[in-house]
Amino acid sequence: MIVTVTPNPSIDRTVTLPSALTRGAVHRVTSVTSQAGGKGVNVARALTLAGLDTLAVLPAAANDPLISTLQTIAVPYRVVPTAEPARTNLTITEPDGTTTKINEPGATLDAATVAALTDAVLGTADGADWVVMSGSLPPGVPASWYGDVVALLAPQPCRVAVDTSDAPLAALVASLDRGAPDLIKPNHEELAGVLGLDPDALEDAVSQGDPAPVVAAARQLVDRGIGAVLVTLGAAGAVLVDRNGAWMAMPPPITPRSTVGAGDSSLAGYVRAEVGGAVAPQRLQMAVAYGSAAAALPGTTLPTPAEIDLNAVQVSPISPIPATR
């Protein structure tokens, strides 16, 4: 079973424009969709579509529309009760695939609810293959929470993935001496930010066909105990670094429709491949195939296995990069 944890779930409302977004103008939309969201929920949705045994753990209020949405799409869930309903996030997509997101901060969790959420994660982790914790932290949850939970999960045999950014990612990296996840999935900006590097330099290197700076940066985190670092690079693909090597995957050309959920789909693809017994380059291949398929779909629609084309993703090993210590 794969347990996904979404501390800050949402209803994702996506509006599609017939032309480019213009600030200050009046726009009439061509379509509107609302779906259960939050990064961990998206991972659970993608894995459920693939037929994997999945459980989404999240805080939500009684009679929250988010819960009925999960029931409709048949995603198994465990709810930690809260006083406030989940937030609503707005996504605006343009014809060329440009995506603008306007995210609410989320429902405030008091100390008792944070403790209940932690207990729910620890309880459901027993017997799980993976615990995947994803997304921002809502008001009331300390930035150290992911690092705290990773440390608490360290004695358990499950593998742990974390996909977050900003202060929670920095706090996780600062607490690696207490426990390190088996996988993190930053993009190049998040990777640069947590290591004090220049994100533009990493992006420029990749655009010039040189993934070595990204590999060297990710290697710093592997050397500090993280099992693997999956760095998503948008249209340029992704880089995977673990203790045994480094690989880069190039996605097939697509017509982008929405990037919402693409990173979450990549994480779902990696986990799906891993539980299926795939080796590292095959996990990377599945991750990029999932992310690419998601970007070609509208709104927060997530890909089914029938939409995944592994053969269209090219994976290459990267020359060894010296360890940083």
Q: What HEC string does the chain produce? A: CEEEECCCCEEEEEEECCCCCCCCCCCCCCEEEEEEECHHHHHHHHHHHCCCCEEEEEEEECCCHHHHHHHHCCCCEEEEEECCCCEEEEEEECCCCCEEEECCCCCCCCHHHHHHHHHHHHHHHCCCCEEEEECCCCCCCCCCHHHHHHHHHCCCCCEEEEECCHHHHHHHHHCCCCCCCCEECCEHHHHHHHHCCCHHHHHHHHHCCCCHHHHHHHHHHHHCCCCEEEEECHHHCEEEEECCEEEEEECCCCCCCCCCCHHHHHHHHHHHHHHCCCCHHHHHHHHHHHHHHHHCCCCCCCCCHHHCCHHHCEEEECCCCCCCC
200 labelled catalytic: no
Q: Which one of the listed residues 166, 177, 264, 309 is annotated catalytic?
A: 264
What are the residue numbers of the active site?
A: 264
